[in-house]
Amino acid sequence: MESRISAMTSLYAFIASPAHHSKSPLMHNCAFKELGVNSVYLAFDIESDKLKDTIKGFKAMGVKGANISMPHKQNIIPYLDQISTASRLCNAVNTIILKDNKYYGTITDGIGFIKSLEEKKWSINSNKITMVGAGGASTAIMVQMALDGAKEIVVYNRTIREEFIEIINKTSKETGCLITLKPLSDTSSLRQDMQDSYLFINTTGVGMEPMLNQSVVPDSSYFHHDLKVADIIYQPAVTKMLQMALDAGCEIMNGELMLLYQGAESFKIWTDLEMPINKVKKVLGIEVK
Ligand code: ATR
């Protein structure tokens, strides 16, 4: 046991299933240690039928905060006392904090993605963006880009779901950003939208295990060399889609900076402190510039 852990140590948690691949404990424990915060962060593999009891137990134990990941980001909402506007629009939560014995939920994925764009000096302001995916992470990214001044967002997804169309309509109305949803099978539209875009993003799991050698874009002829290309996957570091983009001469970004900055945002919510980014980058094996 580390000597910094005492009878006064606060507990923060990661709840998901599977959970034991997560890099969040590394990040947050590094930050707690670096800043001398008497807290510890642990990962818990929680199956869906245990989620309600977990939150109840956490509240009884005074667990100060947690990150929520797959498959609980949406299902946790009924067990929380309050959620943020971003969580309401996305219908997803990835961070909870205990305040006055109440759990408040919000989502930091979108802010994390925007901060990773800022580090790359990629500007979404007044630009057109094409993205693939309509899941929890996709929605958070789409909503945050719309809130932060994107001009137009075209979302491609394998499935066209009424629920997602409602989110798009609500987000368009509240932000003034033009957002459209198209089927991923419409490859000629995809080619055209990618041609006209400043940024292309894959927000699906296509490209990581168990879909490792797959890509949401059919081939590298879809990319033009001025297109910025992001994948929120960080394992592998270069997905098949990112390799196609590299082959076409594009600048690329994988998901490791988004992972870092969504964590930094959760850390700020819990502690009111800035995460020591360069220290955490070292722990995660991210290049420090
Ligand atoms: P997360 O919360 O991590 O975003 P999710 O909510 O399960 O995860 O969303 C997964 C996204 O990946 C969805 O957009 C999903 O498409 P569907 O809505 O059609 O299911 C997309 N996805 C998963 N497997 C895919 C595949 N083989 N081809 C295309 N899209 C896929």
Per domain, the residue ranges of the chain are 10-106+260-284, 110-253
CATH code for residues 10-106+260-284 = 3.40.50.10860
- Centre of ligand 1 to C-alpha 10, Å, is 35
Question: 219: Cβ–Cβ under 8 A, 6 or more apart, which residues?
Answer: 244
* SS3 assignment, position 58: helix
Question: Do residues 171 and 146 touch, judged by C-beta distance below 8 A?
Answer: yes
Pocket residues for ligand 1 (CB within 6 Å)? 70, 73, 133-138, 157-159, 184, 204-206, 211, 216
- Helix (H) / strand (E) element for 287: namely none
Cis? peptide before 71, omega within 30° of 0 = yes
Give the pair of three-digit tokens for residue 139.
């929605």
- The answer on whether 23 is annotated among ligand-binding residues is yes
Instruction: Give me the residues paired with residue 206 across strands.
Output: 208
Segment 112-120 mean pLDDT? 97
CA 47 to CA 18: how far, in whole Å?
9
Q: Specify the residue for token string 């930091």.
A: 108
* Matching fold, domains 10-106+260-284 and 110-253: yes
Q: Residue 136: what pLDDT?
A: 85
pTM equals 0.92
Q: Residue 262: what pLDDT?
A: 97
Q: How confident is the model at residue 156 (pLDDT cuts 50, 70, 90)?
A: very high
Please determine, for residue 1, whether its predicted confidence score (pLDDT) is greater than 60.
no
Question: If you average pLDDT over every residue of the chain, what do you get?
Answer: 95
Catalytic positions are 73
CATH code for residues 110-253 = 3.40.50.720
For the stretch 48-83, pLDDT in tens is: 999 999 999 999 999 999 999 988 999 999 999 999
- Centre of ligand 1 to C-alpha 288, Å, is 31
